[in-house]
C-alpha cells in the first residue's frame, strides 16, 4: 500500500499498533479541515507492527497526550517535503485536562473551572495521581 508523502505537516510515527484511533480521538483530529491518514499495522523492523498518523497541515499537537498514550512514539515535523524536526516522547510529568479525576469528593468535581491536573508518581508503573486529592488515575 502506498500513502503519498506530505509536503507540510506532521507525522506521528512509531505508535504502538492499535493506539492510532485513541490518539486520533484525544487529539481532536476529526475536527481538522485537512487530510489526515491513519495507517494501522504497518510493518516495523523494531516492533513488528506499528501505527502511523499523517496530518497534512502544520497544526499544534498536544505532545503530552501523545506521550501519555504512547511514550515510544515520535513526532516528525515536515516542511517543504523535508524532515525539519523529530521529537522523541516520554511520559509527561504533569497532565492537564487529559485524564479526569473520578473521585466524587475531589474539588474538581464541584469547582468545574479547575483544570484536571495529574502528576506522574511512578514512571515504571505509569501511575498518575490527582494533584488535589491524590486519587490514582484509572488505567488508560
Question: What 3-state DSSP class applies to 33?
Answer: coil
* Distance between CA atoms of residues 9 and 11, nearest Å: 7
| One domain for residues 62 and 102 | no
Instruction: Tell me what pLDDT residue 53 has.
Output: 95
In a domain, 3, yes or no: no
**Residues 59, 84 within the same domain:** yes
Tell me the pLDDT tens digit for each residue of 96-114.
Answer: 999 999 999 999 988 889 9
Task: Please give the grid coordinates belonging to residue 99.
Answer: 485524564
Asked whether residue 77 falls in the same domain as residue 100, the answer is: no
| Strand 117-122 with 94-96, pairing | antiparallel
The verdict on 77 and 98 lying in the same domain is no
Q: Is residue 139 part of a domain?
A: no
Burial class (CB in 10 A: 0-12, 13-18, 19+), 60: exposed
Distance CA 97, CA 34 (A): 25
pLDDT score of 139: 67
Q: Check residue 37 and give its pLDDT.
A: 92
> pLDDT 10s per residue in the chain (140 long)?
556 678 899 999 999 999 999 999 999 998 988 889 999 998 888 888 999 999 999 999 999 999 999 998 999 999 998 999 999 999 999 999 999 999 999 999 888 899 999 999 999 999 999 999 999 998 65
List, as one string, the DSSP characters of 40-64.
EEEEETTTEEEEEEEESS-----HH
Q: Are residues 111 and 65 in the same domain?
A: no
Cα within 13 Å of Cα(103), Cβ side: 16
- pTM here is 0.84
Domain extent at residue 72: 9-88
Q: How far apart are CA 102 and CA 10, in angstroms?
A: 33
What is residue 47's predicted lDDT score, i.e. its pLDDT?
81
What's the structural domain count of the chain? 2
The size of the chain, in residues, is 140
77 & 22 share domain: yes
Amino acid at each position: 500500500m502506498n500513502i503519498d508523502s506530505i509536503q507540510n505537516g506532521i507525522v506521528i510515527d512509531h505508535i504502538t499498533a492499535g493506539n492510532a484511533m485513541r490518539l486520533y480521538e484525544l487529539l481532536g483530529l476529526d475536527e481538522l479541515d485537512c487530510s489526515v491518514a491513519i495507517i494501522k499495522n504497518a510493518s516495523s523492523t523494531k516492533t513488528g507492527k506499528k501505527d502511523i498518523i499523517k496530518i497534512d497541515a502544520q497544526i499544534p499537537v498536544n505532545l503530552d497526550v501523545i506521550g501519555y498514550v504512547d511514550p515510544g512514539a515520535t513526532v516528525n515535523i515536515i516542511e517543504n517535503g523535508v524532515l525539519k524536526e523529530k521529537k522523541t516522547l516520554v511520559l509527561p510529568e504533569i497532565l492537564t485536562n487529559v485524564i479526569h479525576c473520578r473521585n466524587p469528593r475531589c474539588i474538581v468535581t464541584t469547582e468545574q473551572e479547575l483544570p484536571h491536573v495529574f502528576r506522574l508518581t511512578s514512571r515504571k508503573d505509569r501511575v498518575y495521581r490527582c494533584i488535589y486529592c491524590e486519587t490514582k488515575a484509572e488505567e488508560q
